[in-house]
Structure 1
């Protein structure tokens, strides 16, 4: 049975992440090794600064190949504007509804500017499964 609707109780507390200054190839390796479709991006102080999806990586590689140029740091390819985030104290039902409405697969969880977790469709399914069990 679902014992809480607090996002803190269901979020990933150590999501796959890389620093914004790493080379794109390192981020791609992290996506592959962690078997995820995207990464949270942090700065040197651990502040959340963006997201990078496998589609962003593929786009960068294809663009570099087509234009015969190299690829650079994650900061050149990550999404950094208009990213929806959540707070650990948010209601998981509200977050699930918003993610469904916006067709998002993941949402970074931020507290005082720091990345403290992430909620994905998998965590939402697990929470729902507890509720119906």
Structure 2
């Protein structure tokens, strides 16, 4: 029996994912950064003013040397109460976390979500060739997921 409606060879189906799915597509690029010699009081003021919960600490050369967060600032508040002293003008270097977990700019947001899920971090500095290029937060990952829901997640 012959084929009645043969239309020729079909075009090969390519399952390409066109949605932006990399950390660099959703990271914050204009960062509020802090310096190790900066006053912790000034950091607290900047956290309040810009409504952020922390940020990277960089040296004079722009190298990432730590990260400071609201929780780190809370240490100053609790220490001052414990010793019954006013909040002192201590430096960021005294309170910042020096062991900073980072993420590459070319990592997918799915891998970033997994990294956030396995740690208690709220933000990760984004690195490219050893240099700080941005920061991604848990909220950025959530926003990316909402934008991606319109695309097919199948590969």
Is this a same-fold pair by TM over 0.5? yes
Greater helix content: 1
Q: Distance in 1 between matches of 2:118 and 2:104?
A: 18
Find the structure with the greater CA-based Rg: 2
- Cα-Cα RMSD: 1.8
The C-alpha deviation readout for 1:52-86, integer Å capped at 9, x for no partner, is 111110111220332237341101110002x2101
Counterpart in the other structure of 1:33: 49
Higher RCO, 1 vs 2 (CA within 8 Å, ≥6 residues apart):
1
Structure 1 residue runs without a partner (length 5+) = none
Change (3 A) 1:18 1:2: farther
Alignment length (residue pairs): 132
Q: Distance in 2 between matches of 1:22 and 1:10?
A: 29
Counterpart in the other structure of 1:116: 133
1:125 is aligned to 2:142: yes
1:6 is aligned to 2:22: yes
1:56 is aligned to 2:72: yes
Q: Distance in 2 between matches of 1:22 and 1:43?
A: 11
1:102 is aligned to 2:102: no
The range that moved more, 58-67 or 117-126, is: 58-67
- Cα offset for 1:22? 0.6
Counterpart in the other structure of 2:33: 17
The range that moved more, 33-42 or 56-65, is: 56-65
Q: Distance in 2 between matches of 1:2 and 1:36?
A: 31
Counterpart in the other structure of 2:6: none
TM-score by length of 1: 0.89
TM-score by length of 2: 0.78
Q: Distance in 1 between matches of 2:34 and 2:130?
A: 16
SS in 2 for 1:100: helix
Conserved? CA contact 1:105–1:121, under 8 Å: yes
Change (3 A) 1:32 1:5: same
